[in-house]
């Protein structure tokens, strides 16, 4: 059995992997999992055994001394992120006033320490140096496979460079710089030209007028996504070219939205547990994540903070309820920084191929309610992304969508839904009073449920519409009419979903007008309070309250009434299962039989009122039958308790 040494190049990764491996001892098949705090400790661990053991450490510890760790051949050394510090085998020569100093990279010391070990490298972006050190690729797991296995989500591209007016000739200069910087072994002339190109780019990207337009477009795009409910937690990352440009961009954003610089405990409307109240720190909505220099302007210096403060920013950004939502970065957090609910990254910086794949992968982590990650391009990196995908992830082009595809899906699904609703009059929703609008929504939900097939088709179409709309909600290519109809269908889906599963996923995505109309309707006695009824059933409602059943009975929407009765009966059966599992299963079968009979009714019976009335009566009677059984059980328990008391 071999000993395994797992090498990372960052302390936080070492801590993360240490925890994961420690929790997976059974799976690994070795209880001896340990994180080595120093090179000396690792030497003791390896030399004190002939086989086995899993040891985790960082590459930086290998410069602490140059002594041999072990000559054993049954050692497997696995290097994580093998495109970075674990490939530098070359000697470095540094000329100082004290003479010439020669040194090697971390990887050289690692290989000398374990001369007979087998070296394995893990990386998503193997550069030439990776292949030189570790050899050819022996196995690859592509982004497409990861998406198919539901480990990550797809990435969608939106180009907005034209919105901030970059002239074509300047874009060509940037593209030439890309090509120049990507070449290996640059000579002095090339380096000098590269510096000139860099200086030109700094002037271009840092132009005050451009930064103002950039800030305006970003704020509008971000706010539209948040207001539409298209971002799961409102977290976004903005990548700038240089620190100075990042600071100027930050000031432009704050000038537009001064409230984003206000310190708040958590996001608006967030309900915090006692633990969250201790963990979440009061903070601004937008922060810069960069090191600070002694020559920085005082305002910038104070905003950036210390290394410890940046660690706190790391923790807060990874908290979904924290008020810290927007991170402006330059180099930090672009690799190895995982925030599952981060779904938007804005890029205004030229990034080389392997770093570009790492950067855009910040938004492909899986999270509940997150369908895709969005990359917003302000500089024109599409060509570079295509090159990077071709080089590192052959065949993965299908994993990378253009936002135009989402726009097409939205328009196509709105057309399909319009055909599904061609017999339904929705005019009062768009032009009536608040109460008329809500009544129209309720009638639309009733119309959707006319058959199970009709309901299933509608729910499927709107689910796909929502996934696409979340991605392109910030696009100007959607008309207001298309947005209004999208919200109409989402609101109807919320009602149907609440009736069937008790929790509406799209309520937060209804626009302000819909939310207001619901609020007004709930304050009126003349409207069917479907949302309120659902909430009562979810929280404190007595399952066998005659007044509650009477309210349901008054509802003039038969399909909706049946769904509410079905929901109530399911809860009652769930309660009786806790005390009498056999009876609970029996009632479940009876209910299932009723529902199947109702869903399979003949097409001629769809509009016959007596069919609905008969179903409602059956469900109500079964509910009272459950209540009778429940009460009998309570009485029997009381009798048994009394007998038990008498005996003793």
Specify which of 131-145, 475-489, 520-534, 553-567 reaches the highest per-range mean pLDDT. Answer: 475-489
CA 429 centroid distance within chain: 33
Give the whole-angstrom CA distance, residue 625 versus residue 573: 10
Reduced to 3 DSSP states, what percent helix, strand and coil does the chain have, rounded to the nearest 5? 55, 10, 30
440: left (phi over 0), alpha (psi -120 to 50) or beta: alpha
Burial 267-285 (b: 16+ CB within 10 A, else e): beeeeeeeebeeebbebbb
Give the whole-angstrom CA distance, residue 381 versus residue 353: 10
Following CA atoms 197, 200, 204, 206 in sequence, which dihedral angle do they give, to the nearest 10 degrees? Answer: 110
Query: Alpha-carbon Rg of the chain, whole angstroms?
Result: 31
Give the DSSP letter string of 537-549.
HHTT--TT-HHHH
Q: Specify burial of residue 214 (Cβ count, 10 A radius: 0-12, 13-18, 19+).
A: buried
Distance set, CA 519 to CA 488, 513, 528 (Å)? 16, 10, 13
Calculate helix-pair angle for 452-472, 480-501, nearest 10 degrees.
130
pLDDT tens per residue, range 387-424: 767 666 655 555 567 888 899 999 999 999 999 999 89
Q: What is the DSSP letter of 108?
A: H
pLDDT tens per residue, range 224-281: 999 888 899 999 999 999 999 999 999 999 999 999 999 998 877 778 888 888 999 9
Residue 573 confidence (pLDDT):
75
Question: pLDDT > 90: what percent of the chain?
Answer: 24
Average pLDDT (158-165) is 80
Residues 254/260, Cβ–Cβ less than 8 Å: yes
With the C-alpha atoms ordered 294, 295, 300, 304, is the resulting torsion angle positive or negative?
A: negative
Distance set, CA 576 to CA 412, 562, 573 (Å)? 46, 21, 5
pLDDT tens per residue, range 511-550: 455 555 545 444 443 334 444 444 444 444 454 556 656 6
pLDDT averaged over the chain?
76
Distance set, CA 568 to CA 538, 559, 573, 619 (Å)? 9, 14, 9, 9
Alpha helices by DSSP H, listed for 318-373, are 353-360
Report which of 234, 166, 248, 168 is spatially closest to residue 206, judged by C-alpha positions: 248
User: Could you tell me the two tokens for 457?
Assistant: 């088709």
With the C-alpha atoms ordered 296, 298, 304, 308, is the resulting torsion angle positive or negative?
A: positive
Residue 524 confidence (pLDDT):
40
Half-sphere exposure (Cβ direction) of 588: Cα atoms closer than 13 Å: 12
Average pLDDT (350-363) is 83
User: Measured over all CA atoms, what is the biggest interatomic distance in the chain, rounded to whole angstroms?
Assistant: 103
Residues 229/509, Cβ–Cβ less than 8 Å: yes
Residue 317 confidence (pLDDT):
96
Q: What is the DSSP letter of 294?
A: T
pLDDT tens per residue, range 177-186: 656 655 555 5
Residue 315 confidence (pLDDT):
94
Average pLDDT (480-507) is 78
Residue 642 confidence (pLDDT):
43
Secondary structure of residue 234 in the 3-state scheme: coil
Q: What is the DSSP letter of 74?
A: S
Strands 400-402 and 54-58: unpaired
Residues 362/339, Cβ–Cβ less than 8 Å: yes
């Amino acid at each position: 059995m071999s000993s395994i040494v797992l090498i990372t190049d960052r302390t936080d990764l070492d801590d993360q992997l240490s925890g994961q491996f420690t929790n997976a001892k059974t799976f690994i098949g070795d209880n001896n999992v340990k994180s080595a705090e120093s090179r000396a400790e690792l030497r003791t661990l390896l030399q004190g055994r002939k086989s086995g053991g899993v040891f985790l450490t960082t590459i930086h510890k290998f410069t602490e001394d140059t002594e041999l760790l072990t000559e054993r051949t049954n050692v497997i050394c696995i290097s994580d992120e093998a495109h970075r510090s674990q490939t530098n085998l070359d000697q470095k020569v540094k000329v100082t006033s004290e003479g010439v100093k020669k040194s090697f990279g971390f990887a050289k010391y690692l290989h000398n320490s374990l001369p007979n070990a087998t070296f394995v490298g893990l990386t998503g972006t193997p550069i030439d140096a990776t292949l030189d050190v570790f050899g050819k690729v022996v196995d690859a797991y592509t982004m497409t496979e990861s998406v198919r296995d539901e480990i990550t989500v797809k990435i969608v591209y939106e180009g907005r460079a034209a919105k901030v007016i970059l002239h074509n000739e300047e874009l060509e200069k940037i593209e030439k710089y890309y090509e120049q910087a990507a070449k290996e072994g640059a000579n002095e002339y090339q380096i000098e030209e590269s510096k000139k190109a860099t200086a030109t780019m700094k002037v271009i990207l840092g132009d005050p007028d451009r930064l103002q337009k950039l800030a305006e477009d970003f704020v509008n795009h971000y706010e539209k996504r948040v207001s539409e409910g298209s971002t799961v937690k409102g977290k976004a990352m903005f990548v700038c070219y240089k620190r100075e440009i990042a600071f100027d961009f930050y000031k432009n954003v704050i000038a537009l939205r001064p409230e984003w610089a206000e310190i708040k405990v958590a996001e608006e409307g967030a309900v915090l547990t006692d633990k969250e109240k201790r963990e979440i720190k009061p903070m601004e909505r937008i922060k810069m994540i960069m090191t600070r220099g002694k020559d920085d302007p005082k305002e910038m210096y104070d905003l950036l903070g210390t290394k410890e403060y940046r660690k706190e920013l790391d923790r807060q950004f990874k908290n979904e309820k924290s008020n810290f939502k927007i991170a402006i970065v330059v180099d930090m957090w672009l690799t190895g920084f995982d925030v599952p609910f981060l779904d938007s990254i804005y890029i205004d910086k030229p990034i080389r191929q392997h770093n570009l794949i790492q950067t855009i992968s910040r938004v492909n982590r899986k999270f509940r309610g997150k369908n895709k990650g969005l990359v917003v391009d302000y500089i024109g990196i599409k060509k570079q992304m295509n090159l990077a995908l071709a080089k590192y992830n052959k065949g993965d082009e299908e994993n990378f969508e253009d936002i135009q595809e989402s726009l097409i899906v939205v328009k196509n699904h709105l057309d399909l839904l319009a055909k599904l609703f061609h017999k339904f009059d929705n005019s009062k929703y768009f032009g009536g009073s608040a109460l008329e609008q809500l009544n129209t929504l309720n009638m639309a939900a009733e119309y959707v449920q006319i058959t199970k097939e009709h309901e299933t088709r509608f729910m499927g179409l709107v689910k796909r519409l929502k996934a696409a709309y979340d991605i392109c909600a910030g696009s100007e290519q959607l008309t207001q009419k298309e947005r209004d109809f999208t919200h109409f269908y989402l609101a109807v889906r919320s009602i149907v979903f609440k009736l069937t599963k008790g929790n509406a996923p799209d309520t937060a995505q209804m626009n302000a007008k819909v939310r207001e109309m619901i609020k007004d309707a709930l304050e009126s006695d003349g409207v069917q309070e479907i949302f309120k009824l659902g909430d009562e059933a979810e929280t404190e409602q007595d399952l066998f309250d005659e007044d509650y059943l009477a309210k349901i009975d008054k509802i003039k929407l038969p399909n909706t009434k049946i769904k509410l009765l079905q929901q109530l009966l399911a809860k009652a059966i769930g309660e009786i299962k806790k005390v009498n599992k056999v009876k609970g299963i029996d009632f479940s079968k009876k209910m299932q039989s009723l529902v199947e009979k109702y869903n399979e009714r003949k097409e001629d019976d769809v509009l016959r009122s007596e069919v609905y009335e008969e179903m409602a009566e059956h469900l109500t009677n079964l509910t009272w039958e459950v209540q009778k059984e429940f009460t009998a059980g309570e009485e029997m328990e009381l009798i048994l308790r009394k007998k038990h008391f008498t005996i003793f």
